[in-house]
Structure 1
Amino acid sequence: MHGIGSDSEESVPGAPESTLYSFLGRLSAALAGSFNARAVWQLRRQIEYQSHLIRRAEAVLANTEIFERASVAAHMGVWQCELPSERLVWSNGTYDLFGLERRSGIVRSDILRSYSDESLARLEKVRAEALEAGTGFGLDAEIHDPAGGTRWIRISATVERENGEPVRLFGVKQDITEEKQLFERMRYLAGHDVMTGLANRTRFQARFAELCEPGGPGGVLMLIDLDDFKEVNDTFGHALGDECLVEFARRLSALCQSAELVARIGGDEFAVLFGPAVGPQRIEAVAQRIIAAAEAPMNCSGRVFRIGASIGYAFTNGGAPAAVFTKADEALYAAKAAGRCAISSCDTTRRRMTAGDR
């Protein structure tokens, strides 16, 4: 390799001698020797090139810092896993997702302990499939940080291959805990009555249809309508009426813990679905306990009052949902017609005598 003043070979930007240390050595030699126009020209080219490299490095560093700040603010991070060593390289945002100190030397086997059992099983499955096929994968996973918190993260991964063999996995991990909570809340609201927490009419109809499917399990539909509830609303107001509904829903749920579903399907109308193992005698016993619970004094906002309940029920017996519901509804109306606190099936109607009747 010739010196800076040689006429036989030009320095090529980007070649090994173009490193900063080589450049400084050549600059020192040129300053120590006699004036050489070609050497000065080469040095000027080298200075311009080195300045260009420095500007590019500064831009990369600035962009890297901006990306790090943005990813941390967005609760996401970049990750890389080298194969077959399984060595992990994480950005700061990824450390933060797992609640870990930002450091090097993290071990994948240790990180896997952060995943819930179900999420870990799914992760290992889709990861193995992706490495086999050479494709990427996406996965929502539940993790637990050292402080005991639980998060949901969305993992996206790409497989890099060389000569047909996977050599690297890389991608992004993002905190989706709030998104998951919102989704679960929306799903809950889609199937539950907001006031009482019981199943709503939509969820009731779906489960009822399953019980009535041809060849399905079958069961019993019980409809419950509160007695004297309108008077409560008219006398004490709707706010206290709502408290009354919530309290009755609590009592009903406690009595029907073995039921398939307990639902509020209207203003003061409730429905309970029982499975096929529940026979007529048990249904009658449950109905009697529900009426007794409805009659027990209600204490809402410091006011004590009484209501009652009427019940109608019908066995599915392979009937269509609409037909079974009609039978139970007719039995409920028969119970209402018989007087306060009555129980009716499609075949019989009985009135339960209360303290006020005797």
Structure 2
Amino acid sequence: MTNNNHNVERHVNDELHTLVDELPIGITAVSTSGLFNYTNKAGVVHSGLPADQEIVELEGRVLQIAQVTVPIGADECHVKLSYDITEQRQLEDDLYRRAYFDELTGLPNRSMIERTVAAVTDAENASFALAFIDLDHFKDVNDYYGHTIADQLLTKIADRLSAELRPSDMLARVGGDEFVLLLSPATNADEIALLVQKFSSRLKQPFFIDGYEILTSASIGVSIYPDNGASFEELYSKADQAMYDVKNGARGSAQLFDSNTDKASNERMKLEQRLRLAVRDQRLCCAYQAKVDFRSDEIVGIEVLLRWRDEYGDIQPPGDFVTLAVELGLMDEITLLVLSEIAAARNSIDEAFGPEVSISINVAARQADKPDFMRSFLEAIVATGMAKRFIIEVTEEAFLQKSKFQAEVLPMIRNIGARVSIDDFGTGYSSLSALADITADEIKVDRSFITDIHLRPRSQSVLKAIESLADALDMSIIVEGVETFEELLYLQASTRIRLAQGYYFAKPIVLEKAVMKSERTNELRKPAEPTRVEHKRVNYSRS
């Protein structure tokens, strides 16, 4: 019986020894007297580890070491334990990167720079600057070149800016095309201006990606600690406000925050709120300017121009709010509202200008490059029952090589019977060679070529070249901005152009039936006697 118990005990001990020996934890036990010494397999591998370190890297693995002393009777046993925490450390590092670093660029993210700024502010006599960097027209790069190249551009921008950092500076990506730069230390405004200008200049140098040369710039707003705030949020907000002041002025430059910037930002916020309410309450209206055949003295069309009837009843011109509406993403809704108003004002339009006049409506290039929006927009035009009277005016950038407009949207416009006009021709990306690849119906020559054209031989030459090429491509020409008798006389005597717009013929007029209402009825009120457009007739003889 005793032998059996001894055998069982020995078997259990053997099994326990095997179990401990196979553990992934390294175990080394040594008694103080030296009578007891045990090491399992993992402990043999880890036996050379230093005794004074808690974390050790060994052959690409990360080990954590712990030591305990266990009393055994009058003796003591010193036990060293070693754990392989490689996977755990990798997981922690991955979670840390995800929490504090941008996946695309590898830069710190907003959380990381916020923590860093908080640490810097805790330092005695700290002085630093925070720069908010917002790329100019990055959406255009995204739309034209595609997301892949846009992402590569962001990565190259991050690399280029990072190369200019001092050891104590930090660059973070906090949004799609937004970066925040911590300049620490930074002791005075002149030093900060020089540092920021260096980054601004680097961003203006071209980037070469997949065979494309891409030019970019950034608007930069700067706040200074402790003058402009005591926390990251305060400094970030002030830098952001200064950046928006740059956006509203000279893009591609930098500006320090000041009280005037703060005031301008508050004014902008108020304007944004007013504009959003105006769109919601449909307090926008349309003005109509005649297109004139100055050789037959006939009104052949109208251009629909957007106006804002503000809460005080005053009419605001588009230059005061259209750019803001684009930035706020309101133009799609506004364009559809304009179209709705045109349909509601059809009777007044026909009575004022004639039932056969064409109706030109402006569509931003960004809108024209969105097939989904344009499909709904064109369906709304068809619903007016006047599709063949419509001319869609877009700037020439809509016809760029990678734009979806010419390939996808233009056929849809043709399909409903509407026409296309190239607006503001000569002010954007256009060239005479590019014009040969554009399949539009009308070229609208920008007013900058027409102003004082009788005194400007170079503008005369350009206009003649455009006229000749348009004739060859079977496109009509209309000139805008005719304001003086001398300008008209030159067009009559020296060109074959027939169509024009401008204050010389008629200013835009607002028809009461065209005022956008927050509540509509199916029947329009009987309109007041419409104001007819009058224009001067000029007798001329061709030489």
- 1:108 alignment partner in structure 2: none
- 2:9 alignment partner in structure 1: 56
TM superposition shift of 1:150: 4.7
- Measured in 2, the distance between the counterparts of 1:331 and 1:179 equals 44
- 2:31 alignment partner in structure 1: 82
- Bigger drift between 55-64 and 193-202 goes to 55-64
Change (3 A) 1:278 1:80: same
- 2:78 alignment partner in structure 1: 169
The residue type paired with residue 205 of structure 1 is E
- 1:268 alignment partner in structure 2: 177
- Measured in 2, the distance between the counterparts of 1:182 and 1:231 equals 38
Change (3 A) 1:62 1:296: same
- Contact between 2:242 and 2:256, CA under 8 Å: does it hold in 1? yes
- Measured in 1, the distance between the counterparts of 2:14 and 2:106 equals 53
- Measured in 1, the distance between the counterparts of 2:77 and 2:152 equals 60
Q: How do 1:320-335 residues align onto structure 2 when only pairs under 5 Å count?
A: 320-321=230-231, 322-335=233-246
- Bigger drift between 242-251 and 57-66 goes to 57-66
Task: State which of 319, 328, 337 in structure 1 corresponds to 2:248.
Answer: 337
- Measured in 2, the distance between the counterparts of 1:55 and 1:323 equals 74
Task: State which of 65, 68, 76 in structure 1 corresponds to 2:21.
Answer: 68
CA offsets 1:176-228 (integer angstroms, 9 cap, x no match): 12212221232233221121111111111222233445955131111111112
CA offsets 1:93-138 (integer angstroms, 9 cap, x no match): 2123x2x7xxxxxxxxxx3xx33xxxx54x5xxxxxxxxxxxxxxx
- 1:181 alignment partner in structure 2: 90
Change (3 A) 1:198 1:88: farther
Structure 1: state its 5+ residue gaps: 1-47, 101-110, 124-139, 350-355
TM superposition shift of 1:174: 1.9
TM-score by structure 1 length?
0.64
TM superposition shift of 1:251: 0.7
Change (3 A) 1:244 1:327: same
The residue type paired with residue 142 of structure 1 is V
- Contact between 1:309 and 1:340, CA under 8 Å: does it hold in 2? yes
- 2:222 alignment partner in structure 1: 313
CA offsets 1:297-316 (integer angstroms, 9 cap, x no match): 22233433111111111211
- Measured in 2, the distance between the counterparts of 1:231 and 1:277 equals 34
Q: How do 1:225-304 residues align onto structure 2 when only pairs under 5 Å count?
A: 225-304=134-213
- 1:22 alignment partner in structure 2: none
Change (3 A) 1:85 1:217: farther
Secondary structure, aligned partner of 2:175: coil
Secondary structure, aligned partner of 1:186: helix
- 1:190 alignment partner in structure 2: 99
CA offsets 1:49-83 (integer angstroms, 9 cap, x no match): 323422332332234224423x1xxx213220221
Change (3 A) 1:209 1:79: same
TM superposition shift of 1:334: 1.5
TM superposition shift of 1:271: 0.8
The residue type paired with residue 57 of structure 1 is R
The residue type paired with residue 114 of structure 2 is Q
Secondary structure, aligned partner of 1:262: strand
- 1:23 alignment partner in structure 2: none
Secondary structure, aligned partner of 2:163: helix
- 2:130 alignment partner in structure 1: 221
- Contact between 2:65 and 2:83, CA under 8 Å: does it hold in 1? yes
- Measured in 2, the distance between the counterparts of 1:264 and 1:143 equals 32
- Contact between 1:223 and 1:270, CA under 8 Å: does it hold in 2? yes
- Contact between 1:152 and 1:180, CA under 8 Å: does it hold in 2? no
- Bigger drift between 53-62 and 175-184 goes to 53-62
- Bigger drift between 290-299 and 49-58 goes to 49-58
1:200 equivalenced with 2:149 (yes/no): no
- 1:93 alignment partner in structure 2: 42
- Measured in 1, the distance between the counterparts of 2:165 and 2:154 equals 16
- Contact between 1:255 and 1:286, CA under 8 Å: does it hold in 2? no
Query: Percent of aligned pairs with the same residue?
Result: 25
Secondary structure, aligned partner of 1:326: helix
- Contact between 2:186 and 2:192, CA under 8 Å: does it hold in 1? no
- Measured in 1, the distance between the counterparts of 2:175 and 2:192 equals 22
Change (3 A) 1:302 1:151: same
- Contact between 1:310 and 1:343, CA under 8 Å: does it hold in 2? yes
- Measured in 1, the distance between the counterparts of 2:132 and 2:35 equals 60
Q: Tell me which of the two structures has the higher relative contact order, counting C-alpha pairs closer than 8 angstroms and 6 or more residues apart.
A: 1
- Measured in 1, the distance between the counterparts of 2:31 and 2:164 equals 58
- Contact between 2:110 and 2:172, CA under 8 Å: does it hold in 1? yes
- Contact between 1:213 and 1:320, CA under 8 Å: does it hold in 2? no
TM superposition shift of 1:277: 4.1
Change (3 A) 1:50 1:213: closer
Secondary structure, aligned partner of 2:102: coil
Size of the aligned set, in residue pairs, is 259
TM superposition shift of 1:342: 0.9
Secondary structure, aligned partner of 1:272: strand
TM-score by structure 2 length?
0.43
Q: How do 1:147-162 residues align onto structure 2 when only pairs under 5 Å count?
A: 148-155=59-66, 157-160=68-71, 162=73
